[in-house]
């Protein structure tokens, strides 16, 4: 059992170094911005607008409560319970022997422990829940792409092993599924309305457009900052 865990840890470290190795100043700036929670406020706001635009306030409020519950459960499980219990050092932590081999972005190292990733849990929890509700192919594909890049940004920045991220995704999926079926039990008619309307969601282009514009702005700002070597801390 110990040998298997050691093998998994070594594979995890090797995969991290591989994913962390694709770096330059341009992508450093971009990934730092992408990983920040605050730059996505317009993206989240566009989702909120579309929700209220397509559904009555009662159904929307129940879904918002479920989303908040998912985020709280993910955060408390990953950061409040498992991280201090497992005490797995982040690869970026200077006490970790692997840290000299890890590319650190803008001197950002995160907290002491990184298993599992709360970033991945929160992002994927929201995405899984949205995909359960809105069976909209274009929107779901965009959300998947957004969450994949979000997960990769954490390995790129050297603050999480891939294993941290995968376990975070697991908890996101778990709590999204539990909250979805609990909501379906409490409000079956509302859930059916969400699924039916979600296939032909009015203004579903808005979150996609807002998210794409946010990425475009980040790409542009990253190019300017890489060219001028401006040092700004985004997280």
pLDDT digits (tens, 9 = 90+) for 80-124: 999 999 999 999 999 999 999 999 999 999 999 999 999 999 999
Q: Which pLDDT band holds residue 43 (cuts at 50, 70, 90)?
A: very high
Whether the Cβ atoms of residue 89 and residue 122 lie closer than 8 Å to each other: no
Is residue 201 in a domain? yes
Q: Cα–Cα–Cα angle for 219, 222, 223, nearest 5°?
A: 85
State the Cα torsion 91-24-107-14 to the nearest 10°: 10
Is residue 91 in a domain? yes
Distance, in Å, from the CA atom of 185 to the CA atom of 175, rounded to the nearest integer, reads: 15
Chain mean pLDDT for the chain: 93
- Dmax over CA atoms of the chain, in Å, equals 55
Give phi and psi for 106, each to the nearest 5: 55, 30
Domain tally for the chain? 1
Q: Which pLDDT band holds residue 207 (cuts at 50, 70, 90)?
A: very high
Whether the Cβ atoms of residue 155 and residue 108 lie closer than 8 Å to each other: no
- Of 124, 162, 163, 129, give the one whose Cα is nearest residue 144: 124
Structure tokens at 19: 């994913």
Expressed as residue numbers, the domain containing 62 is 57-228
Is residue 43 in a domain? no
Whether the Cβ atoms of residue 103 and residue 158 lie closer than 8 Å to each other: yes
Per-residue CA distances from 123 to 4, 23, 58, 70 (Å): 30, 23, 24, 10
Mean pLDDT over 64-89 rounds to 97
Distance, in Å, from the CA atom of 218 to the CA atom of 30, rounded to the nearest integer, reads: 6
At which residue do the structure tokens 């450093």 appear?
Answer: 28
Is residue 33 in a domain? no
Task: Annotate 85-108 with b (16+ C-beta within 10 A) or e (fewer).
Answer: eeebbbbbbeebebbeebebbeeb
pLDDT digits (tens, 9 = 90+) for 121-147: 999 999 999 999 888 889 999 999 999
Task: Annotate 23-32 with b (16+ C-beta within 10 A) or e (fewer).
Answer: beeebbbbbb
pLDDT digits (tens, 9 = 90+) for 20-35: 999 999 999 999 999 9
């Amino acid at each position: 059992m110990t040998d298997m865990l050691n093998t998994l840890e070594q594979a995890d470290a090797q995969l991290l170094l591989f994913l962390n190795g694709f770096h330059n100043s341009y992508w450093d700036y971009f990934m730092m911005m992408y990983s920040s929670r605050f730059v996505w406020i317009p993206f989240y706001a566009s989702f909120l607008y579309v929700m209220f635009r397509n559904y009555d306030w009662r159904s929307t409020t129940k879904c918002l409560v479920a989303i908040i519950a998912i985020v709280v459960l993910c955060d408390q499980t990953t950061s409040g319970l498992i991280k201090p219990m497992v005490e797995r050092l982040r690869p970026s932590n200077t006490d970790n022997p692997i840290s000299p081999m890890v590319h650190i972005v803008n001197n950002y190292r995160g907290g002491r422990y990184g298993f599992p990733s709360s970033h991945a849990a929160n992002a994927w929890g929201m995405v899984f829940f949205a995909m359960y509700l809105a069976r909209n192919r274009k929107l779901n594909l965009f959300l998947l792409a957004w969450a994949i890049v979000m997960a990769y940004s954490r390995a790129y920045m050297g603050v999480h092993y891939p294993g941290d991220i995968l376990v975070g995704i697991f908890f996101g999926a778990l709590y999204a599924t539990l909250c979805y079926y609990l909501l379906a039990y409490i409000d079956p008619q509302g859930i059916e309305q969400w699924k039916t309307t979600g296939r032909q969601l009015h203004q579903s282009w808005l979150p996609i457009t807002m998210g794409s514009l946010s990425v475009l702005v980040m790409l542009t700002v990253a190019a300017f900052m890489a060219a001028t070597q401006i040092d700004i801390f985004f997280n």
